[in-house]
Chain A
Amino acid sequence: MSIAGVKLERFTAFESLRVHFSPGLNVFVGANGTGKTHLLKLVYAACDITKSQIDFPEKLVRVFLPSGRALGRLVKRQKASTRCAVEVFRQDLKLRASFTNHAQKAASATVTGAGAWRATPVESVYIPVKEMLSSAPGFRSLYAQREIHFEEIYADILDRAYRPALRGPTPSARRRLLDYLQKIIEGRVVIKDEEFFLRSRQGNLEFSLLAEGLRKLALIWLLIQNGTLLEGSTLFWDEPETNLNPKLYGPLIDILLTLQRSGVQVFLATHDYLILKEIDLRREKDDQIRFFSLYRDSVSGEIACHASSDYNGIHPNAVADAFADVYDREVKRSLGGLEK
């Protein structure tokens, strides 16, 4: 049962937004400050509470980490008192939370639909921009015992990564994906005393010595191997291109498309043209892909969203626009001050 969409009123950067997701791959593009990460975090929070049993507003606070952990700071900033509402949809289920900008405690929010929402758990993973596995030893216990200023997505991803491998034989589709990843990272991941290592023919290499881009693919290997990324689960990945060599974009997108075909709902935020083009070039006819362009409406100044199932339909495309600008300047330079 995939996440069908969200409806937001005065939540963080959004004045009013309604978005319908694809059950397959959802790709968000947009300039900085248009709310891509906020959308991913919001939907992740709604998914996570079905397993962690944390209250939805409390999870929002932990994931967004507003100053003083004051829930009301997640309301879009306005001079007057105001109330925000977030709604997340899954088939006929609706999870709703509303709160005012004066709300200090998460418990002061009004939540509806949480009981039914939690009755059908959904496995979810949020991979943040910053890589965490190399900093893992001791982080979880530190996070559990102390008030350290880290968004909960960092502790959550380690919880998922530390899960032991699934029992029993590995189905062939999952085996193929693991083998494919093992070829790229040239090894498999092992965990010793909370520390991650890449085990290859040369021995065990600690993650802190492994290229950062490869750590990301190693994390995906772990999540597939331990059964976190299985049919029915949801993957959120913020800027997967960070620290990854562009030559690995193709294999990365292949993996995401394969996961999507096996029933994993994927949410991706990217600034990278090549990531978008790899999706466009590697997609197959039946792949369920939707691109979302988040942008500031020129009239209202508010963030709006345009959806398209086709790469060429992304509009406005902040990533391609940046290329167009560079290209135009390159042409001008190549023409060497041509008189018009």
Chain B
Amino acid sequence: MKAVVEGDLELKVPDGAAVRKFDAEHTHGLSHCMKAVDFIIEWKDRIFFVEFKDPEAPESRPKDRRKFLHQFLAGQIDADLKTKYRDTFLYEWGFLRAEKPIHYLVLIAVEGIGPAELLNRTDALKRQLPLMGPFGQEWPRPFVAGCVVLNLAAWNRQLPQFPVRRLTSSHS
């Protein structure tokens, strides 16, 4: 397994999967005009765009954690998540690397967020990307195969091949 790290969160990918840290400024090169997801994983028949949000990272302030939670529940993070996906898609498409169905995985590493909120934000993100074309028709050439917003527990339950853990012992 190979491990990559974003802040306090470590993501492991199985052998046979290729993972890239995508939003590193020195390799991305267009961060002045395009947003970027944290990681891109290519695995078997699909590609994952992966975005981590970690307001409970050890260095974060309680005030900022509360602010994030409020913004997340109010849907104010959705637009940022949408733009990250679309810009990343365009970037990869330009490099001829968007050749498999792409699934968008968003990890919100907050313990207090439960299934109802995650379900609501998943549906909102589907509408924002958007997953479907005009008038509810499927895109003839879809640019996103699926998206899902997960908390840490849901991630590790649903994606056991790609375990995520906190690095600091206080959270482990």
Complex: A32 Cα to B15 Cα, angstroms: 47
B161 within 8 Å of A (CB atoms): yes
B interface bracket (residues with beta carbon within 8 Å of A): 20 to 34
A336 within 8 Å of B (CB atoms): yes
Which residues of chain B have C-beta atoms less than 8 A from A328's C-beta?
Answer: 115, 154, 157-158
Q: Is the CB of B44 within 8 A of A327?
A: no
Complex: A332 Cα to B44 Cα, angstroms: 17
A80 within 8 Å of B (CB atoms): no
Which residues of chain A have C-beta atoms less than 8 A from B159's C-beta?
Answer: 335, 338
Pair count A-B, CB < 8 A: 56
B147 within 8 Å of A (CB atoms): yes
Q: Is the CB of B114 within 8 A of A331?
A: no
Among A312, A320, A324, A334, contact of B148 (Cβ-Cβ < 8 Å): A334
Which residues of chain B have C-beta atoms less than 8 A from A320's C-beta?
Answer: 114-116
Among B116, B118, B146, contact of A336 (Cβ-Cβ < 8 Å): B146
Which residues of chain A have C-beta atoms less than 8 A from B119's C-beta?
Answer: 323, 326-327, 330
Q: Is the CB of A335 within 8 A of B154?
A: no
Q: Is the CB of A323 within 8 A of B116?
A: yes
Which residues of chain A have C-beta atoms less than 8 A from B158's C-beta?
Answer: 328, 331-332, 335
B88 within 8 Å of A (CB atoms): no
Which residues of chain A have C-beta atoms less than 8 A from B160's C-beta?
Answer: 340
Q: Is the CB of A324 within 8 A of B115?
A: yes
A333 within 8 Å of B (CB atoms): yes
Q: Is the CB of A273 within 8 A of B147?
A: no
Which residues of chain B have C-beta atoms less than 8 A from A330's C-beta?
Answer: 119, 122, 148
Which residues of chain B have C-beta atoms less than 8 A from A323's C-beta?
Answer: 114-116, 119
Which residues of chain A have C-beta atoms less than 8 A from B46's C-beta?
Answer: 336, 338
Complex: A330 Cα to B118 Cα, angstroms: 10
CB distance from A335 to the nearest CB of B (A): 6
Which residues of chain B have C-beta atoms less than 8 A from A92's C-beta?
Answer: none
CB distance from A270 to the nearest CB of B (A): 14
Complex: A322 Cα to B112 Cα, angstroms: 17
A277 within 8 Å of B (CB atoms): yes
By beta carbon, the residue of chain A nearest B116 is A323
A147 within 8 Å of B (CB atoms): no
Q: Is the CB of A273 within 8 A of B122?
A: no
CB distance from B113 to the nearest CB of A (A): 11
CB distance from A83 to the nearest CB of B (A): 43
CB distance from A189 to the nearest CB of B (A): 34
A339 within 8 Å of B (CB atoms): yes
Q: Is the CB of A327 within 8 A of B116?
A: yes
1/0 per position for B28-57, CB-CB distance to A under 8 A?
000000000000000010100000000000
With contacts A330-B119, A334-B146, A340-B160 taken as known, whether A324 is within 8 angstroms of B114 at the C-beta atoms is: yes
Extra pairs beyond A331-B158, A339-B161 (5, CB < 8 Å): A323-B119, A326-B115, A327-B115, A334-B146, A336-B146
State the B residues within 8 Å of A (CB). 44, 46, 101, 103, 112, 114-116, 118-119, 122, 145-148, 150, 154, 157-161
- A–B complex contacts, Cβ < 8 Å, 24 sampled: A273-B116, A320-B114, A320-B115, A323-B115, A324-B115, A326-B115, A327-B154, A328-B158, A330-B119, A330-B122, A330-B148, A331-B148, A331-B154, A331-B158, A332-B158, A334-B103, A334-B146, A335-B103, A335-B146, A335-B159, A336-B46, A336-B103, A338-B159, A340-B160
Top-7 shortest CB links A-B:
A327-B115, A334-B146, A334-B148, A324-B115, A323-B116, A323-B115, A327-B119
